[in-house]
Structure 1
Amino acid sequence: MEEEKTRAASALLERAQAQVSEPTRTKLGEFADFIRWSFSKLEMRRFFRWFGQFIGNFPIPSLIAFGIMLSLIAFAFPMNLRDRVRDGYTPSNSKAYLESQQLRDFSGLKGDPMMTSVLLRATDKSSMIDQDNLMEAVRMLQHVKENISVPAEGKDYKYNDFCGHHCRQNDVLDYFALELRNFRTGTLSLFKSNLTYPMSTIMGQKVHLERNFYGVKTSFNAERNYTNIDYCELILLTFTADIQRPEEEEIVARWELAVSDFASKRSKDERVEMLVIGAEIVDLEMNKDSQRMTPYFAMGFIGAAIFIFISAWFSLFIYGRLSPDFRGCGMVTANMLLPVFVCVVPAMAILTTFGIYGLIGLRINSLMLIMPFLIMGIGVNDSFLVVHHWLRERTTFTRSELLGLVFEDVGPSITMTTLTNVISFAIGACAPTAEIALFCAGSAIAMGLAYIYTLLFFGALLAFYSAPDGSPEPKKTRRQKQVCTFFDKLLLWYSKLLQNNIFRSVFLLIWIGFFIGGIIGCSSITSKLETEKILPHETPIKLPNRIIEEQVWTEYYPVIVMVHRPFDVSDPTLNAEFMGMVDEFEGLEGSRGPNSTILWLRNYKEYFDFVAAGDEGDIFGDSDEDKVDIQKGQYDNSQIEGFLGSPITKHFRGMMVVDMDASPPVRKFSFVVAYRNHTTWDDRIRIQEEWREICERHPNLNATIWNVNGMFVDQMQSLKTLAAESIVATLAAMVVVTFIFIQKPVPVAVAVLSIGSIAIGTIGYIAIWNLDLDPVTICAILISIGMSVDFTAHISMYFVNCPRRHDGLPPSSLDRLVHSIGSIFWPAIQGNASTLICVLPLVALNNYIPLVFVKTLTLVVIIGSAHGLLLIPMFLSLLPTSALEWDLLSSRKPDDTVSTIDRSTIGRELQMLGVDAVGTKSAEEPLLMTPAEP
Structure 2
Amino acid sequence: MTCMCIDTALSIVFQKLGYIVGKYPGYFVLVPFFIACILATGLQRLRYEDDPEYLFSPTDGRSKLERAIIDEYFPINYTQNFNLGRITHKGRFGRLIITARDGGSVLRRSVWNELMQLDSAIKNLTIEWDDKIYRYQDMCAKHEFKCFNNDILDFDNKIDDIEANRYFLKYPIWVNHETYKAYFFPAYLGGVQRDANNIIESAKGVNLMYFADTTIKNGDIRGQLWEQRFLDFAASVQFENIIVSRFISTTLQKELDSNTHSLVPFFSITIAIMLVFSIGTCMMFDWVRSKPWLGLMGCLSAGIAVIGAFGLCVYCGIEMIGINLAAPFLMLGVGMDDAFVLLAAWRRTNPTMSVPKRLSHTYAEAAVSITITSLTNFISFMIGIITPFPSVRIFCIYTSVAVLFTYAYHITFFGGLMAYFGEVERRNLHGLICIPVLPKSLAEDKGFFFRLLCTGGRNPNDPDNPKDNKEHMMMIFFRDVLAESLNRPLVKLLVISVFLIYLFIGIYGCSVIKEGLDRRKLSRDDSYSIQFYDFEDKYFREYPYRIQVVVNETMNYADPKIQQQIEDMLRKFEESPYVADKSMTESWLRSYLTFLGQDDSFLFLQALNVSDPLDFYRGLRDIFLHFPLTEQFRFDVVFNEDGSEVIASRYIIQAKNILDANMEKEMLISLRGIADSFPFHVTIYHHYFIFFDQFVLVRSISIQTITVAAIVMMAISLIFIPSPSCAIWVAFSIISIEIGVIGYMTLWNVNLDSISMINLIMCIGFSVDFSAHISYAYISCNERTPGERVKSALYSLGLPIFQGSVSTVLGIIALAFAPSYVFVTFFKTVFLVMLFGATHEGQSSDNKSLHLSSKLPQPYHFKTTNLQTMQKELPFFTAEKFFDGKTIVHKNGGPIYIPRPSYINLACNISVEGSKSLSVSDSSVVAEKDLGLGTSAEECSESSWKAAESKIDHHVDMIVKKQPQRIIENHHVNDGYLSDSLEQSTDASKMFVTRSKSNDTEMVEPRRNFKNNRQSRIGPTNGHEERMNRNILPPSLFNHQQQNNHHNLNRFIPMSYNRYLEEYPSTRQRLQSYRIGSLKPNRTTHRIQQDPDIILNRNEMNTSSYHYFDYNLHWDSRWSGTVPANQNKTDNSNFQ
TM over 0.5: yes
Q: 1:306 — aligned with what?
A: 276
Code of the residue aligned with 1:677 in structure 2: it is N
Matches within 5 A, 1:420-435: 420-435=376-391
> Displacement, 1:348?
2.2
Which one of the candidate residues 764, 775, 795 is aligned to 2:743? 764
Q: Does 1:698 align with 2:678?
A: yes
Distance in 2, matches of 1:207 and 1:897, equals 94
Matches within 5 A, 1:469-508: 476-478=439-441, 481-482=466-467, 484-485=470-471, 487=473, 490=477, 493-494=480-481, 497=484, 500=487, 502=489, 504=492, 506-508=494-496
SS of alignment partner, residue 548 of structure 2: strand
> Displacement, 1:369?
2.8
Higher relative contact order (CA 8 A, sep 6+): 1
Distance in 2, matches of 1:65 and 1:824, equals 31
Matches within 5 A, 1:904-915: 913=1030
Which one of the candidate residues 166, 189, 196 is aligned to 1:214? 189
> Displacement, 1:268?
0.8
SS of alignment partner, residue 276 of structure 1: strand
Q: 2:266 — aligned with what?
A: 296
SS of alignment partner, residue 388 of structure 2: coil
* C-alpha contact 2:99 2:206 (8 A) present in aligned 1: no
Code of the residue aligned with 2:726 in structure 1: it is P
Distance in 2, matches of 1:821 and 1:159, equals 74
Distance in 1, matches of 2:687 and 2:836, equals 41
Distance 1:462-1:581 versus aligned 2 partners, 3 A rule: same
Q: Does 1:54 align with 2:20?
A: yes
Q: Does 1:64 align with 2:34?
A: no
Q: Which has the larger radius of gyration?
A: 2
Q: 1:3 — aligned with what?
A: none
> Displacement, 1:421?
0.9
* C-alpha contact 1:199 1:209 (8 A) present in aligned 2: yes
> Displacement, 1:505?
5.2
Distance in 2, matches of 1:355 and 1:486, equals 41
> Displacement, 1:394?
2.6
Q: 1:849 — aligned with what?
A: 822
Q: 1:275 — aligned with what?
A: 245
> Displacement, 1:458?
0.3
Which one of the candidate residues 618, 634, 638 is aligned to 1:637? 618
Distance in 1, matches of 2:587 and 2:795, equals 76
Distance in 2, matches of 1:562 and 1:900, equals 76
SS of alignment partner, residue 743 of structure 1: coil
Code of the residue aligned with 1:779 in structure 2: it is I
Code of the residue aligned with 2:270 in structure 1: it is G
* C-alpha contact 2:58 2:694 (8 A) present in aligned 1: yes
Q: 1:118 — aligned with what?
A: 95
> In the TM superposition, what whole-angstrom CA distance separates every residue of 1:210-254 from its partner, at most 9, and x where no partner exists?
243314556899xxxxx9766554333445678769998777566
After alignment, is 722-731 or 588-597 more displaced?
A: 588-597
SS of alignment partner, residue 528 of structure 2: coil
Distance in 2, matches of 1:489 and 1:133, equals 73
TM value normalised by structure 2: 0.64
Code of the residue aligned with 1:698 in structure 2: it is F
Distance in 2, matches of 1:495 and 1:878, equals 23
Code of the residue aligned with 2:738 in structure 1: it is A
SS of alignment partner, residue 562 of structure 1: strand
Which one of the candidate residues 276, 295, 308 is aligned to 1:339? 295
Q: 1:13 — aligned with what?
A: none
Q: 2:43 — aligned with what?
A: 76
Q: 1:189 — aligned with what?
A: none
SS of alignment partner, residue 275 of structure 1: strand
Distance 1:238-1:412 versus aligned 2 partners, 3 A rule: same
Distance 1:358-1:645 versus aligned 2 partners, 3 A rule: farther
Code of the residue aligned with 1:917 in structure 2: it is S
Which one of the candidate residues 213, 235, 240 is aligned to 2:206? 235
Q: Does 1:439 align with 2:395?
A: yes
> Displacement, 1:382?
0.5
Distance 1:578-1:825 versus aligned 2 partners, 3 A rule: same
> Displacement, 1:844?
3.5
Q: 1:264 — aligned with what?
A: 235
SS of alignment partner, residue 313 of structure 1: coil
Code of the residue aligned with 1:705 in structure 2: it is I
Q: Does 1:871 align with 2:844?
A: yes
Q: 2:686 — aligned with what?
A: 707
Aligned length: 839
Q: 1:891 — aligned with what?
A: none
After alignment, is 636-645 or 403-412 more displaced?
A: 636-645
Q: Give aligned-pair identity as a percent.
A: 21
Code of the residue aligned with 1:477 in structure 2: it is K
> Unaligned stretches of 5+ in structure 2?
78-86, 430-436, 442-450, 457-465, 857-925, 929-973, 992-1005, 1007-1027, 1033-1054, 1065-1113, 1120-1136
Distance in 2, matches of 1:670 and 1:878, equals 70
* C-alpha contact 1:165 1:653 (8 A) present in aligned 2: no
SS of alignment partner, residue 719 of structure 1: helix
Distance in 2, matches of 1:750 and 1:129, equals 66
Q: 2:714 — aligned with what?
A: 735
Distance in 2, matches of 1:105 and 1:398, equals 75
Q: 1:661 — aligned with what?
A: 642
> Displacement, 1:454?
0.6
Q: 1:200 — aligned with what?
A: 175
Q: 2:11 — aligned with what?
A: 45
Distance 1:550-1:170 versus aligned 2 partners, 3 A rule: farther
> Displacement, 1:814?
8.6
* C-alpha contact 2:107 2:159 (8 A) present in aligned 1: no
Code of the residue aligned with 1:720 in structure 2: it is R
SS of alignment partner, residue 288 of structure 1: helix
Distance in 2, matches of 1:247 and 1:899, equals 78
SS of alignment partner, residue 679 of structure 1: coil
SS of alignment partner, residue 525 of structure 2: coil
* C-alpha contact 1:536 1:847 (8 A) present in aligned 2: yes
Distance 1:605-1:258 versus aligned 2 partners, 3 A rule: farther
Distance 1:237-1:299 versus aligned 2 partners, 3 A rule: same
* C-alpha contact 1:90 1:714 (8 A) present in aligned 2: yes
* C-alpha contact 1:521 1:767 (8 A) present in aligned 2: yes
> Displacement, 1:693?
3.1
Q: 2:728 — aligned with what?
A: 749
* C-alpha contact 1:52 1:400 (8 A) present in aligned 2: yes
Distance in 2, matches of 1:576 and 1:392, equals 84
> Displacement, 1:52?
1.6
TM value normalised by structure 1: 0.76
SS of alignment partner, residue 288 of structure 2: coil
* C-alpha contact 2:384 2:396 (8 A) present in aligned 1: yes
After alignment, is 642-651 or 435-444 more displaced?
A: 642-651
Distance in 1, matches of 2:385 and 2:135, equals 38
Q: 2:526 — aligned with what?
A: 538
* C-alpha contact 2:745 2:828 (8 A) present in aligned 1: yes
> In the TM superposition, what whole-angstrom CA distance separates every residue of 1:77-133 from its partner, at most 9, and x where no partner exists?
586555444564343344334333433444458996015452342656686666786
> Displacement, 1:407?
0.9
SS of alignment partner, residue 432 of structure 1: coil
Q: 2:1036 — aligned with what?
A: none
Distance 1:257-1:657 versus aligned 2 partners, 3 A rule: farther
Distance 1:81-1:260 versus aligned 2 partners, 3 A rule: farther
SS of alignment partner, residue 550 of structure 2: strand
> Displacement, 1:731?
0.8
Q: Does 1:583 align with 2:571?
A: yes
SS of alignment partner, residue 705 of structure 1: strand
After alignment, is 755-764 or 473-482 more displaced?
A: 473-482
* C-alpha contact 1:76 1:352 (8 A) present in aligned 2: no
After alignment, is 790-799 or 396-405 more displaced?
A: 790-799
Q: Does 1:552 align with 2:552?
A: no
What is the CA RMSD across the aligned residues, in angstroms?
A: 5.0
* C-alpha contact 2:385 2:396 (8 A) present in aligned 1: yes
Q: 2:833 — aligned with what?
A: 860
> Displacement, 1:384?
1.0
After alignment, is 304-313 or 346-355 more displaced?
A: 346-355
> Unaligned stretches of 5+ in structure 1?
1-28, 185-192, 222-226, 323-334, 617-626, 805-809, 886-894
> Displacement, 1:318?
3.8
After alignment, is 703-712 or 501-510 more displaced?
A: 501-510
SS of alignment partner, residue 113 of structure 1: coil
Q: 1:670 — aligned with what?
A: 650
Q: 1:176 — aligned with what?
A: 154
> Displacement, 1:869?
4.4
Code of the residue aligned with 1:50 in structure 2: it is K
